[in-house]
Amino acid sequence: MTGSAEGASTDGDTESAPRERRAVVAKRVESGSADLTEITQLAAAAGYEVVGELTQTRTEDAAFMFGKGKVSELRDLVRRTGAGAVIIDNDVGPYQTFNIGGELPEGVEVIDRFTLILEIFGQRANTRKAQLQVELAELRYELPRAEAKASLAKRDERPGFMGLGEYDESVERDIKRQISEIRDELESIAEKEEARREQRRDSGFDLVALAGYTNAGKSTLMRRLAAEIDVDENAERHPDLDTTAESQDMLFTTLGTTTRRAEMEKRDVLLTDTVGFISDLPHWLVESFESTLDSVYRADLVLLVVDASEPVEEMREKLVTSHDTLYERNEAPVVTVFNKVDRLAPGELADKRAALSGVAPDPVAVSAKTGAGVAELRDRVEAELPDWERERLVLPLSDDAMSLVSWIHDHGHVEEETYADDQVTLDFEAKPSIVARARSKAAGLAPAESR
């Protein structure tokens, strides 16, 4: 067994954060060395100041997660650093949480990985849909623990144990009832969003979704791809669109979906950024945010953004996991985007392309920060979107015909427009549904021709 503990001694006059926001991060692994990078980033995203670290390599202890001696070491580290919370980068069971907390100074909170993620989600939930998804995840997390908490409370004759309060069978029934009600409301929201997606498609828009792990640079890439003129949130044909996407070196700055109009040569594209993937998420947590992932599953094209500055094995693992998530329900083509190539040494990109060719056979290399490769990405997006149909319409010169000409310009790409002999001829490309509607509109313009 191996392990380590690091921390800095502090006193009350020099603390930069209140005690309850000062945390020690800890992690146990079965073999190898524990990496605390991600849990430290998650702690920072939740607003904690990490003041100490502890790791251990050993098999899981049923009572304490860590070995009993390591828990004593954790207690000393908490005292030395003045931390008010211990954040454990493992799935800690309720019994283990209780046992670890009993060894720590009074008032120190024990937070596991998933509780921390839910705390972050709760802080980022600014829409009704996001708030419902966070609440659903919290209830799903609590449900299997309710019985264990009740058992402990009964054993120790402490009804208020672990914050559960008086427990009876109605607690579980109440949790299940709340889950059912939230599911119903989320389903109603999902139906409205699906109707809006179809409305956008009917207006000639292609829907492109950004997917990938947190901190891969999705929001930065979205800002780079977005048109200079934001989508009009009040426009009838694409209502309720967000016009900004945060770009920060922080996890989960994007919790809900953010949609902007992308700048393309021919096609009208709406680009949607969603919550980033994160490693080791349990199925119940992914399911809670299923309606957010619908923006990915129901897109016409998905851009899977990967941080190319990470080690090859880490990139491979994230690509495989992302593919499992995407291809489970998604039918749209997926284009892999190697982002942050400005951080690579000469020749490093070619090496990574070769090493990852099995999981990313034809990636587009870009730097969202500098703009390198973004033009090529735009070309690739237009090439990968569903094919458009070519059409020629010959229309009479009339006010109604000019309205149709304007509508076709708005919903497709006009290759040629000529006027002669009281007629206007349009050669254009558009989605098949738009071409069909243009033909129908043209048929009502007498005397109109179409061929």
Residue 387 neighbours by CB under 8 Å, 6+ apart: none
Residue 293 neighbours by CB under 8 Å, 6+ apart: 274, 286, 325
Would you say 99 is a known binding-site residue? no
- How far are the Cα atoms of 45, 93, 309 from residue 367, in angstroms, in the given order? 24, 42, 11
Would you say 339 is a known binding-site residue? yes
Structure tokens at 348: 């490093």
Would you say 342 is a known binding-site residue? yes
Would you say 275 is a known binding-site residue? yes
Would you say 27 is a known binding-site residue? no
- How far are the Cα atoms of 6, 307, 319, 353 from residue 314, in angstroms, in the given order? 26, 10, 9, 14
Q: How far apart are CA 130 and CA 295, in angstroms?
A: 14
Would you say 369 is a known binding-site residue? yes
Q: Which long-range contacts (CB under 8 A, 24 or more apart) does 323-327 make?
A: 323/359, 325/211, 325/277, 325/286, 325/293, 326/211, 326/296, 326/302
Would you say 219 is a known binding-site residue? yes
Would you say 288 is a known binding-site residue? no
Would you say 276 is a known binding-site residue? yes
Would you say 340 is a known binding-site residue? yes
Q: How far apart are CA 57 and CA 53, in angstroms?
A: 14
Nearest to 57 by CA among 49, 45, 65: 65
* Length in residues, the chain: 451
Report the side by side order of strands in the sheet with 206-212.
258-262, 269-273, 206-212, 301-307, 334-339, 364-365
**Contact of 398 with 442, CB cutoff 8 Å:** no
Would you say 40 is a known binding-site residue? no
Would you say 227 is a known binding-site residue? no
Would you say 435 is a known binding-site residue? no
Would you say 216 is a known binding-site residue? yes
Q: How far apart are CA 254 and CA 178, in angstroms?
A: 26
Cβ neighbours around 51 below 10 Å, total: 25
Binding-site residues for Mg(2+), please? 219, 254
Binding-site residues, please? 212-219, 254, 273-276, 339-342, 367-369
Binding-site residues for GTP, please? 212-219, 273-276, 339-342, 367-369
